[in-house]
Structure 1
Amino acid sequence: MDYLGEAIALAIDSIILGACVKYYLRSKHAMTMIQGAPILDLDKNLSEIVNTHPDKRLSYVSLRGTIKPIGNPIISNNNPKVEGVIQLLSIKEHIVQRSTAGFWSDHERTIQEVHNVMPFVIESKGYQVEIVDPLAADVLDMDVISDIFHPTVPSVMDHIWGFFAGLRQRGIQTTERMLRKGTRITGIGELVASEDGKTLKLQPPQNGAPFYLTTMQVPSLVKKLEDSKRSYRLLCIIFGTIGVVIGGLMVRRYWKNRCKKLDEERRRKLLEVSRKERRRRMRDEELPEFQLCVVCKDNPKEIILLPCGHVALCEDCAEGIGDLCPVCRSHIEKKSAAYLA
């Protein structure tokens, strides 16, 4: 309990530091993979390149082409002129909530989220590569088609109820995002060929490397990841330094408390020795036998045993007597100094 505050702060700092290290390593790994991925052109040679590799598979490549749906495209709900291959419809509720400290703050929660996906390919110069499982992409750039906020007009009763409940609704936000037909994107992932070698597919890599479907070109994506890596590295340094400082304060406090306890123990022992020596010098050497300790028969009786009440031991012998009185063999609950007049 002496270090509870420091321990909680150190635990929170360790969790944040762990998350920062995780994202830093992820950004660094993604940069290394992307920089090492060959940039291939969508042309007649691409199929030959894939088919000549073992298992007809390239573990990590970068392709750039234009999106073309396989079949009828998805029509936007809010703009009939917009067509695409992936549609994300989300409904979010915006509320103002009172915290335990009594402050009101804005929050949002997702009420509903719907994905509509149409099979599609990326095309260039008449050559195509099918995209497999696009929703698994680590980065999936989509355009915002509509973003509408419907404010709530509360009544008097809503205000009263919200005050006592600590919850007020601000409104509902509906958002539509789409990956449009004709958008030029960069796909980075695993490129595989079908069994007949005629169809090529770009899919999430089996080795756990990141999968990207982005409108950015490779240099721009690398620069974005570099900025992200730099930010997480700075956060790692900051929270790592905080953790070292907190740990150092805990060690310093522990060392000071330990030194204090050792010093108090040393002083206690010195006082104990001094007290025993002083009492030994003050003892009367010519005491009658009934006033002598029943154990050593040398020192006077100085300790009363409770609850039996027998005064039978000197201070030195009392330290070696455990649970039973040497006179009546009853259980000893307490030992106290006895002063005989």
Structure 2
Amino acid sequence: MSSPERTIINFFSDVAFSFDGAILGLTLAFSAVRSGFKYASNSAALNKIKQAPEVSVSDLRSLIPSSDEQSETNENGNSLDRCIVVVRGTVKPKNSGDWSNKSNVLISSETGDKALIIQRTQTYMYSGWKTLFQLSNTHRYILERSMPKQGADFLRMVPFVIVENNQKPSFLDVNMDGSRQPLPLTTVYSRLQPISSSPYAFLQALLFPEYPVGLLDVEKILPPGRDITAVGICSFNNGVPEIKSCQDLPYFLSEMTKDKMIADLMRRTTVLFWGGLIMGCLSIGILSFASVRCWNRWKLWAQQREPSQRPTQPVVEDETEDADEIPDGQLCVICVTRRRIPAFVPCGHIVCCRQCALTVERGTNPKCPVCLQTIRGSMRVYYS
């Protein structure tokens, strides 16, 4: 590990364990809460997909109410028109008229492949002294950043349907409006174009944390004839079955079957559950430790401030006596030169002179020199 990486790791570790680990505990608590919300959403999606019937395209009409039945159920207040189903089939382009007409498809400008969806992304590749903070130093580091929206990312698609076993008379229309789930696209073109350096490249590398060094151009398509699984809200639109994405589900169009989706969601929910539980327990322990340490420090600070807040009293010098005239049993156990006068509270031991008793009281952890019990102060004892 290089020295800059070691410096960065030490800095973040110092920040994480500052305030007795309170920052680390709060970070773990925030991560545990986020994991809890994700676990709840994934569990709800898992239950919906488990309860969703897996039907073929030809059986949709028997499962979903027609338009007349939908209007009747709407008048009765039911929600049968929002039916989540799982349909497996082959994607085909949608024709404008009957199925004998020529289908409309998109053509990739780079490869010439036929496609129903074409997604092209252009991304700037950055480099600079910011790359020194990466975890490994065996490669040349580049940081990706998306270009501005002017022509960098664009998506083209044509209407397409899902058919069963290439049986064109029965089909399911796919409505892509409002879809935010990832699409099962295939990368057909990927090229990295280096950007020619300018005369000020040295100044860019010296003064700026990162500067562009290349342009990555990627094109992905959805080819016709691919077998996919559609999960969403299915209904009838002018007598034609139509499926639309459900925002509560992480899938809409996918190459996975229903069983694989359930297995993937179960794996996610298990990881989120145990990860959130472990981070929550760690955060509680760390925050409790930090709270106890802060409470003890506050009590110590209050004890140290308490003697300074007392009204200052002039220290009365002990009576000047010759040490030879004081019996050995009445000499201070600390200085062994003056007479024992005050008694410690609450133990009541009379073992020190006035000056040594004040010195013991003003210590960080005042204790009686004889019984080692914590003392709160001292009081003078008069013998009559």
Does the pair score TM above 0.5?
yes
* Pair 1:86-2:122 in alignment: no
Counterpart position of 1:169: 212
Counterpart position of 2:257: 217
Letter aligned with residue 115 of structure 2: G
For residues 13-32 of structure 1, the aligned pairs below 5 Å read 13-32=28-47
Letter aligned with residue 240 of structure 1: G
* Pair 1:232-2:272 in alignment: yes
Counterpart position of 2:62: 48
For residues 1-341 of structure 1, the aligned pairs below 5 Å read 6-43=21-58, 45-51=59-65, 54-55=73-74, 57-71=81-95, 72-80=104-112, 82-99=113-130, 106-111=142-147, 112-124=152-164, 125=167, 126-133=169-176, 136-154=179-197, 157-194=200-237, 196=238, 198-205=239-246, 208-264=248-304, 272=310
Counterpart contact for 1:95–1:108, Cα < 8 Å: yes
Counterpart contact for 2:46–2:262, Cα < 8 Å: yes
Per mean C-alpha deviation after superposition, the further-off stretch among 173-182 and 7-16 is: 7-16
TM-score, with length taken from structure 2: 0.62
Counterpart contact for 1:185–1:214, Cα < 8 Å: yes
Counterpart Cα distance in 1 of 2:117 and 2:225: 12
Counterpart Cα distance in 1 of 2:261 and 2:23: 38
Following superposition, the deviation at residue 203 of structure 1 comes to: 0.7
Following superposition, the deviation at residue 144 of structure 1 comes to: 1.0
Following superposition, the deviation at residue 200 of structure 1 comes to: 0.6
Letter aligned with residue 232 of structure 1: L
Once superposed, what is the RMSD of the aligned Cα atoms?
A: 3.2
Residues 278 and 150 (structure 1 numbering): CA distance in 2 closer, same or farther, change over 3 Å?
A: closer
* Cα offsets for 1:92-147 (capped at 9, x unmatched): 01111334988795311112110112111111134111111266142421111111
Following superposition, the deviation at residue 267 of structure 1 comes to: 5.7
Letter aligned with residue 174 of structure 1: D
Counterpart contact for 1:10–1:246, Cα < 8 Å: yes
Counterpart Cα distance in 2 of 1:161 and 1:42: 58
Identity %: 17
Following superposition, the deviation at residue 193 of structure 1 comes to: 0.8
Following superposition, the deviation at residue 232 of structure 1 comes to: 2.3
Following superposition, the deviation at residue 183 of structure 1 comes to: 1.0
Residues 102 and 228 (structure 1 numbering): CA distance in 2 closer, same or farther, change over 3 Å?
A: closer
Residues 77 and 11 (structure 1 numbering): CA distance in 2 closer, same or farther, change over 3 Å?
A: farther
3-state DSSP of counterpart to 1:172: strand
Counterpart Cα distance in 2 of 1:92 and 1:50: 43
Following superposition, the deviation at residue 159 of structure 1 comes to: 3.4
Following superposition, the deviation at residue 186 of structure 1 comes to: 0.5
Counterpart position of 1:324: none
* Cα offsets for 1:163-200 (capped at 9, x unmatched): 23332333111111111111111001111012x5x201
* Cα offsets for 1:17-42 (capped at 9, x unmatched): 33322222222222111111111111
Counterpart position of 2:366: none
Counterpart Cα distance in 1 of 2:203 and 2:299: 60
Counterpart Cα distance in 1 of 2:255 and 2:291: 51
Any unmatched runs of 5+ in structure 1? 283-341
- Which is strand-richer, 1 or 2? 1
